[in-house]
Amino acid sequence: MSATRYKISNKNIYGFRTGMYQMMLLMIPLLIVLSLLAEFVLGPVLYGFYQKDAALEEGAAGSEAGAHVQVAESIADMERLGTFTLITKGAVVNHDTVRSGDQLYHRLHLPSGELVIAHINKKAIQETEEAGVYRLPTGVWREWEPPAEVLVYEELLAAPDHYVDMYGDYVPVLSQSDYGMALGRMASAWLFVILLFLYRVIGVRLWRFAPAIFWKRDPPLPKNDTELWCASTFAIWAHSFSMLEGWPLVTGVHGSRKVVANFRQTSLGEQWDIHDRRGGLQTVHELTEKHSGRYDTPCAGWDLCRATQLLGMMYLVRMINREELDVEFVRAGRVIQQRFGSWDELAESYLEGYEAWLARCGQSDAAQYAARRRSIYLQLKADPDGPYSVPWRVDLTATPGEGERRVLKRVLSRYRDPKL
């Protein structure tokens, strides 16, 4: 059996087993409503601000050339004026082009007879009173390193190391309908991300699944060697049911709604008649005290392992807190260490008691069920990093939340397989 068996809790690391699909389905109508509100209510309000921010400043390169912008007729005029406009025919703007990557340039013949290259914002071209003749956007004469496509015309150009910039910082402005649709999609996407993040954070805090990144902060993981040792005492049980995730979780499983309801109503309520903290601790104490200081009680392993198991279940359903869990773990753990001398002795007593309990319950195939759990024990025992690699004589400290972490650090260093 490989060490990857102890990565089972991370199978639910993204919450797919705890209602994420259902949540996504419930989110669809909400996302649609939000998208429509953003598009048809918020969109018209914000569009004016967007349009104003996206528009070029008056007189900037690429903006519409107002009446005050002078017309240049030569390179000398462009150098003298600083900002200018040009008058040209529509056929030139539409057809006399040079493409370089995503950029489209135009070859313009100036009235002086000089040929220049221009990058033009077509959205800012204006018609003149003369049909087929257009007033180009505001331009500036800029120095540049021409692309290879333009250098083909180097010998023809009057100044190949300059071009007419009539595009500037222009960014295409969306129409109001397109802006509203984009705003709706963006609002829906952000809401989805926020809700997904909240689902993750809340789910981890409620112990429903493990953190995806800071997985060592998973609440059901042991915080010290004492908790790790006690989790090993009920490892056979924790690996005996498909709904459980196994060692080293101190609860045996994460707290999905289904698991918590099953533990509270069936496992604790119906099977043990435990309905509150007082009743639960009383049952645990009864299981441990009849074996405390004695070496002749039968099936002690069965009772004592169930005592630590009950504590983990009670902690998962919030009947006890972490401090109480640690105190009770120490109390039960010391009885176990006093009564047995090794994991093998504890496991044999547990399995013997399990088979005897099944027989008392009238289970005809008690031996078969016991053999199945023995097989689980042998698999767990064979793993060099499994629950029984924890030293038997771990010093069980009575200080809640504190204590040694030497063994725990070793286990957690191999706990999460990056391939999972």
> pLDDT by residue (tens digit) across 228-263?
999 999 999 999 998 888 899 999 999 888 899 999
Q: Are residues 279 and 256 in the same domain?
A: yes
Segment 316-343 shows an average pLDDT of: 95
Q: Are residues 80 and 25 in the same domain?
A: no
* Cβ neighbours for 120, distance < 8 A, ≥ 6 positions apart: 93, 106, 136, 137, 166, 167
Question: Is 191 a domain residue?
Answer: yes
Whether pLDDT at 12 is above 60: no
* Predicted local confidence at residue 47, as pLDDT: 78
Q: Are residues 110 and 194 in the same domain?
A: no
Segment 286-309 shows an average pLDDT of: 92
Q: Are residues 238 and 371 in the same domain?
A: yes
pLDDT confidence bin for 20, thresholds 50/70/90: low
How many domains is the chain built from?
3
Question: At which of 109, 140, 166 does a domain end?
Answer: 166
Average pLDDT of the chain, as a whole number: 87
SS3 readout for the chain: CCHHHHHHHHHHCCCCCCCHHHHHHHHHHHHHHHHHHHHHHHHHHHHHHHHHHHCCCCCCCCCCCCCCCCECCCHHHHHHHCEEECEEEHHHHHHCEEEECCEEEEEEECCCCCEEEEEECHHHCEECCCCCEEECCCEEEEECCCCHHHHCCCCCCCCCCEEEEECCCCCCCCCHHHHHHHHHHHHHHHHHHHHHHHHHHHHHHCCCCCCCCCHHHCCCCCCCHHHHHHHHHCHHHHCCCCCCCCCCCCCCCCCCHHHHHHHHHHHHHHHHCCCCHHHHHHHHHHHHHCCCCCCCCCCHHHHHHHHHHHHHHHHHCCCCCHHHHHHHHHHHHHHHHHHCCCHHHHHHHHHHHHHHHHHHCCCCCHHHHHHHHHHHHHHHHHCCCCHHHCCCCCCCCCCCCCCCCHHHHHHHHCCCCCCC
> pLDDT by residue (tens digit) across 344-385?
999 999 999 999 999 999 988 999 999 999 999 999 999 988
**413 in Cβ contact with 248 (< 8 Å):** no
Q: Are residues 30 and 157 in the same domain?
A: no
Q: Are residues 245 and 298 in the same domain?
A: yes
Q: Are residues 250 and 314 in the same domain?
A: yes
> pLDDT by residue (tens digit) across 58-79?
889 999 999 999 999 999 999 9
Q: Are residues 112 and 34 in the same domain?
A: no
**Cα dihedral value 294, 296, 299, 303, nearest 10:** -10
Whether pLDDT at 51 is above 90: no
> pLDDT by residue (tens digit) across 225-236?
999 999 999 999
Question: Is 318 a domain residue?
Answer: yes
Q: Are residues 92 and 198 in the same domain?
A: no
Q: Are residues 49 and 89 in the same domain?
A: no
Whether this model's pTM surpasses 0.85? no
Q: Are residues 231 and 299 in the same domain?
A: yes
Question: Is 69 a domain residue?
Answer: no
Task: Please give the residue range of the domain that contains residue 387.
Answer: 215-413
